[in-house]
Each structure stands twice: as structure tokens, then as C-alpha cells.
Amino acid sequence: MGWRHLLFENWPVDPAVMDAHLPDGLAPDVYDGSAWLSVVPFTNVAVRPKGLPEPLGIRLPELNLRTYVTRDGVPSVYFFSLDAQGIASVLGARIFHHLPYYYARISLEWADGRVRFSSRRRHPGARPAHYEGTYWPTGEPFSAPDDSFGNFLVERYRFYTQAQDGSIRYTDVDHDPWTLYPAAAEIKTNTLLAAHGFVEPDHDPVYYYSPGLEVVTSRSAQP
């Protein structure tokens, strides 16, 4: 698949608060004394099983709520939720990959150098979540591995989730190093954090933008 037009919207969180939201076996990863909570709107492109040609892939706008964890010394990402537009894709991810996907109505438009993004969760039985805003790159691009905080946020190649039966699952990902830009954003609505039990942060978020990259993922597995 390809990931395109990503915003990384990041807040510092007390590590003890984050630890209380994580399943056993995962520990908050800390930068500058804080755990970090991130909202990531973007769109997938050409999503397909490995080996199929790109034209057969599908487009899938998505909104993630994630944090940064370690297990056995491996820096990783933990997903609290993944909201996505496609009903079939959401059901398939839940059933076959044990991922906490939620069906949502999502739109993403790129115009005049800015991304306009809107997501409203429609998943039956789930707490509602609405996110709407505009974001855009500012400044010069840089390679994430060359920046301490950028490297902490995005150069991670294992993703963890908690399945509906309470078990921990992981997926490995492979991609080139990230290119990031400083970014600005005007976020009109964000109830995603509250929907997952987080208090509205006191600090202003730190923003990064990426035009995206190509990604290959493994099957979901148990540690």
C-alpha cells in the first residue's frame, strides 16, 4: 500500500497516565520525559495483497489514534483505534487481522497546498468520534532519522494492537525512511481522544506533515 498526505499531531502525556491505558506487556516509550499521544489522518492508496498489481488496489482514507511503546526493547507503535472509510476493509481487518478498526465516513481533499480532512465514526455500538480540520506543510523537508524527535515518532517498524479477546497482536512493517515537514493545522473538531478516555491535553500539539511513502505489512501475529 501507499500512505499519503499524513499529519502527525502529537501531545505529551504523563507516562503513568499512558501506562494506565495500555495492555499488560507493553510499556510507554518516553521522549523528553513524556509519553506521546498522536492523531494521524491520511489516506491509503493501492491497498492490495502482496503480489497483486497496483491498479487492483483500493483507496482507503483513515484516521489513527496511537502512542509509542516498547516490548522486549523494540520501539513500536500501539494503536488505540483505526477509523476507515471502507466497510468491507474494516470488517476484514477486524476479523482476519484482529485490528481495532471502526467504520467511519471520511473525506480527504488536497487543494492549494493544503489537506482538508473530515472523519465521523459510524461504527455500530462504538463511541462516536468526530475529527475535522485542515493541515499543510511549512518549512523545508528533512529526513526523520536525522531528527531526534522525528525519529522517535515515525521510525518504528512494529505495530501493536489489542484483539477483542484481550490478546496482544503485532504487525511488522517495511518502508523507506520517512521524509517529514514542519506543519501547521487548523483543527475545528477533535473528539477522538475523549472517545478513548483521554482528557483534553493542556499543551498545544506538535505537528509534522509527510507526503507519504510505500509500505509492506506482515500478517498479524501474537508475540
Q: What range does the domain containing 91 cover?
A: 2-217
Q: Would you say residue 98 lies in a domain?
A: yes
Q: Would you say residue 172 lies in a domain?
A: yes
Spell out the SS3 assignment of the chain. CEEEEEEEEEEEECHHHHHHCCCCCCEECCECCEEEEEEEEEEEEEECCCCCCHHHCEEEEEEEEEEEEEECCEEEEEEEEEEECCHHHHHHHHHHHCCCEEEEEEEEEEECCEEEEEEEECCCCCCCCEEEEEEEECCCCEEHHHCHHHHHHHCCCEEEEECCCCCEEEEEEECCCCEEEEEEEEEEEECHHHHCCCCCCCCCCEEEEEEEEECEECCCECC
Q: Would you say residue 222 lies in a domain?
A: no
Identify the CA nearest to 162 among candidates 219, 215, 72, 97.
97
Question: What is the share, in percent, of the chain residues with pLDDT greater than 90?
Answer: 70
Half-sphere exposure for 32 (CA within 13 Å, toward CB)? 9
**Residue 17 banded pLDDT, cuts 50, 70, 90:** very high
Least confident piece of the model among 15-24, 26-35, 51-60, 140-149 = 51-60
- Give the count of domains, the chain: 1
Q: Would you say residue 74 lies in a domain?
A: yes
Indicate which CATH number applies to the domain containing 111. 2.40.400.10
**Residue 40 banded pLDDT, cuts 50, 70, 90:** very high
Residue predicted with more confidence, 11 or 49: 11
**Residue 167 banded pLDDT, cuts 50, 70, 90:** confident
Yes or no: say if 155 and 178 are a contact pair by the CB < 8 Å rule: yes
> pLDDT tens for residues 121-133?
998 878 999 999 9
pTM of the model: 0.91
Q: Would you say residue 223 lies in a domain?
A: no
- pLDDT for position 111: 93
Q: How far apart are CA 8 and CA 179, in angstroms?
A: 12
